[in-house]
């Protein structure tokens, strides 16, 4: 692409009043005239926020990107977008993923940008930025913020997955409130996102598997100086990508998505991967379905021994060689010739990868677990599908039939779960309704609901749990998620009553409510939605337009790409 044909020249290359306005106000930042004369303008889309602690180091990271852009002859301009911090935002960051993606899409299209670097970290900041960028489709590269260093508490390594263990230990009296407070600082002892293979790390692996980053992006710890080096190189590379006109639509082919699914299964990635990947695919025009997830995951064993499915942390993963080692081990199962952001194929990027710890990253001949990292379920309880993470489930519950104990919503669950009179034992199946996209709204991470206190005290560690919600990528257990259609939309889940029998068979990939069709039809005729409907603002828009989990929970009107053309030019 010649400098004269750069998109940004539609602003900065103009003469007369319009050109004056576009350049003059930029010059109040001390920018010299030559910056506007045909240099590729690179937007640095920054999710920095002190309300998003996982991304709080991003201004520094942006400086490294800028150095790279300048070194390669580009003109960097940093801009903020809505930042979604998983830990503080109520009711759930997922409610705002689509809103943030709209911010990103419109910010990129409306401004004089030729290429964009997406600074992503905490869970939703990756899919929201990638979704928005895909709907514009100018050259794009992703830089992840990197995981925290491994936590250390009382001489042991800890990470986010230990929160669930700590919470259960406090409820059962094995841990004091004081010990819990000490553990807080021990867990989060450095900059970066969650240090396990939770959703943020899964997203960082997803973008590397898709080819949207430089190699090794996924695992370099945030506190490791090599993270800044990668950011600087990414800044230089995006300038070249603009010259080559290498866009997301060139990289994000169906084969690239299939690679991401297979790699996600091998690393035991978060179940949230399913929803975000499908949403991204639908933005870029690939009709990816749960069936594709199933077909491409089914025969992939777990290679990465990482929490929550295994033992190690993201820091260990990086020192063991990181994602390129996993890719190399999976060479025969990948579309190795997919093009990536650095202009090389996936295979060229991983061919020299070396494994430095084969206990952390195994190969196909000696997997860490035979169970795949992801399974898609079908049955009358989830006509459009549901997901489970077999690698983080209990083997004795993978094929289980039990009596349903139903909670109508999350408030009902909190009110009754620890009631000593609740009729429940370890063979029961806990069912939680109305935590789906429309029902909550926003599909929160409450699917791995805590086990009743009286069962914890008996030593019960896991039970089958089913809901239309999601689970934190750091969570674990035999937890069926993303049931579609959700209860609030009148799916079969809405019709389950306490005392019904439910059969889960992860090996056969089925989830059945053992109630005959006649009885279900009667219940359906009497059913009325019980969720709260918003009456104004974004939440109303969301409830009216959000799609079901199996479609990625995006808004129906956001599917697809509008390109980078600005429709009206009023100056």
Task: Give contact residues for ligand FES (rule: CB under 6 A).
Answer: 54, 86-87, 122-123, 160, 193-194, 198, 200
What b-and-e string marks burial along 392-417, b requiring 16 or more CB atoms within 10 Å of the CB? Answer: bbeeebbebebebbbbbbbeebeeeb
Q: H helices of 268-371, where?
A: 272-284, 290-297, 314-319, 323-329, 346-350
Q: Is the peptide bond before 441 cis (omega within 30 degrees of 0)?
A: yes
- Work out how close the CB of 20 gets to ligand FES at its nearest, in angstroms, rounded to a whole number: 44
- Work out how close the CB of 539 gets to ligand FES at its nearest, in angstroms, rounded to a whole number: 22
Q: Are strands 382-388 and 375-379 parallel, antiparallel or unpaired?
A: antiparallel
- Work out how close the CB of 150 gets to ligand FES at its nearest, in angstroms, rounded to a whole number: 14
Cβ distance to ligand FES smaller for residue 200 or 293: 200
Cβ distance to ligand FES smaller for residue 38 or 146: 146
Cβ distance to ligand FES smaller for residue 81 or 496: 81
Q: H helices of 36-160, where?
A: 58-71, 97-110, 125-134
Q: Among 201, 200, 167, 197, which residue's Cα sits nearest to residue 184?
A: 167
- Work out how close the CB of 218 gets to ligand FES at its nearest, in angstroms, rounded to a whole number: 13
- Work out how close the CB of 223 gets to ligand FES at its nearest, in angstroms, rounded to a whole number: 15
Decide: 500 and 333 in contact? Cβ < 8 Å: no
Could you tell me which residues are beta bridge partners of residue 263? none
- Work out how close the CB of 201 gets to ligand FES at its nearest, in angstroms, rounded to a whole number: 8
- Work out how close the CB of 407 gets to ligand FES at its nearest, in angstroms, rounded to a whole number: 25
Cβ distance to ligand FES smaller for residue 86 or 371: 86
Cβ distance to ligand FES smaller for residue 122 or 435: 122
Tokens of 8: 């940004």
Cβ distance to ligand FES smaller for residue 84 or 449: 84
Q: H helices of 388-492, where?
A: 410-416, 453-456
* Residues listed for the chain: 571
Cβ distance to ligand FES smaller for residue 193 or 369: 193
Give Cα separations from 19 to 106, 145, 278 (angstroms).
22, 36, 41
Cβ distance to ligand FES smaller for residue 40 or 198: 198
- Work out how close the CB of 174 gets to ligand FES at its nearest, in angstroms, rounded to a whole number: 25
CA–CA dist 405, 477 (Å, integer): 17
Q: Are strands 156-158 and 375-379 parallel, antiparallel or unpaired?
A: unpaired
| Residue 94 CB burial class (10 angstroms; 0-12, 13-18, ≥19) | buried
Q: Among 220, 214, 168, which residue's Cα sits nearest to residue 191?
A: 220
A 10 A CB-CB count for 164 gives 17
Cβ distance to ligand FES smaller for residue 200 or 388: 200
Cβ distance to ligand FES smaller for residue 123 or 315: 123
Give Cα separations from 141 to 207, 213, 318, 385 (angstroms).
9, 6, 21, 32
- Work out how close the CB of 465 gets to ligand FES at its nearest, in angstroms, rounded to a whole number: 21
- Work out how close the CB of 403 gets to ligand FES at its nearest, in angstroms, rounded to a whole number: 35
Phi, psi of 152 (to 5 degrees): -135, 120
């Amino acid at each position: 692409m010649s400098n004269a044909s750069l998109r940004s020249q539609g602003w900065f290359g103009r003469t007369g009043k319009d050109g004056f306005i576009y350049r003059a106000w930029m010059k109040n930042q001390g920018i010299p005239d030559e910056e506007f004369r045909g240099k590729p303008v690179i937007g640095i889309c920054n999710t920095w926020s002190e309300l998003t602690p996982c991304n709080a180091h991003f201004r520094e990271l942006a400086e490294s990107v800028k150095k790279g852009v300048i070194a390669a002859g580009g003109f960097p301009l940093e801009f903020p977008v809505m930042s979604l911090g998983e830990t503080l935002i109520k009711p759930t960051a997922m409610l705002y993923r689509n809103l943030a993606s709209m911010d990103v899409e419109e910010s990129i299209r409306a401004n004089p940008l030729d290429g964009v670097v997406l600074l992503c970290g905490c869970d939703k900041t990756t899919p929201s930025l990638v979704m928005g960028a895909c709907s514009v489709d100018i050259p794009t590269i992703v830089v992840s913020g990197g995981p925290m260093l491994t936590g250390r508490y009382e001489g042991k390594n800890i990470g986010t997955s230990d929160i669930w263990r700590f919470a259960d230990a406090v409820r059962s009296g094995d841990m004091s409130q004081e010990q819990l407070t000490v553990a807080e600082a021990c867990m989060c002892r450095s900059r970066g996102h969650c240090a396990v293979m939770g959703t943020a790390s899964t997203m960082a692996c997803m973008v590397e598997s898709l080819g949207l980053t430089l190699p090794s992006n996924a695992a370099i710890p945030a506190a490791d100086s090599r993270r800044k080096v990668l950011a600087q190189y990414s800044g230089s590379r995006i300038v070249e990508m603009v010259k080559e006109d290498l866009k997301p639509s060139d990289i994000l082919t169906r084969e690239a998505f299939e690679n991401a699914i297979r790699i996600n299964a091998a690393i035991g990635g978060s179940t949230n991967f399913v929803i975000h990947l499908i949403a991204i695919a639908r933005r870029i025009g690939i009709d990816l379905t749960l069936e594709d997830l199933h077909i491409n995951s089914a025969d992939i064993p777990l290679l990465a021994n990482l929490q929550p499915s295994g033992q190690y942390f993201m820091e260990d993963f990086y020192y063991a060689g990181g994602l390129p080692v996993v890719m190399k081990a999976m060479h025969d199962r990948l579309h190795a010739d997919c093009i990536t952001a650095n202009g090389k194929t996936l295979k060229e990027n991983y061919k020299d990868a070396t494994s430095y710890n084969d206990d952390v990253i195994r190969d196909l001949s000696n997997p860490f677990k035979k169970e795949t990292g992801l399974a898609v379920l079908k049955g009358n309880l989830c006509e459009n599908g549901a997901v489970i993470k077999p690698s983080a489930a209990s083997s004795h519950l993978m094929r289980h039939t039990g009596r349903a104990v139903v909670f109508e919503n999350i408030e009902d669950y909190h009110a009754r779960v620890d009631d000593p009179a609740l009729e429940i034992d370890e063979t029961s199946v806990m069912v939680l309704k109305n935590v789906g996209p429309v029902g909550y709204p926003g599909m929160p991470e409450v699917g791995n609901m805590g086990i009743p206190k009286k069962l914890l005290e008996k030593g019960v560690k896991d039970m089958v749990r089913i809901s239309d919600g999601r689970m934190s990528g750091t969570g674990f257990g035999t937890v069926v998620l993303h049931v579609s259609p959700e209860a609030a939309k009148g799916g079969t889940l809405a019709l389950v009553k306490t005392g019904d029998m439910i059969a889960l068979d992860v090996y056969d990939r089925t989830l059945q409510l053992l109630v005959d069709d006649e009885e279900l039809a009667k219940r359906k005729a009497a059913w009325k939605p019980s969720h709260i409907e918003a009456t104004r603002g974004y939440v109303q828009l969301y409830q009216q337009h959000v799609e079901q989990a199996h479609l990625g929970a995006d808004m129906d009107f956001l599917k697809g790409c509008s390109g980078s053309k600005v429709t009206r030019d009023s100056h």
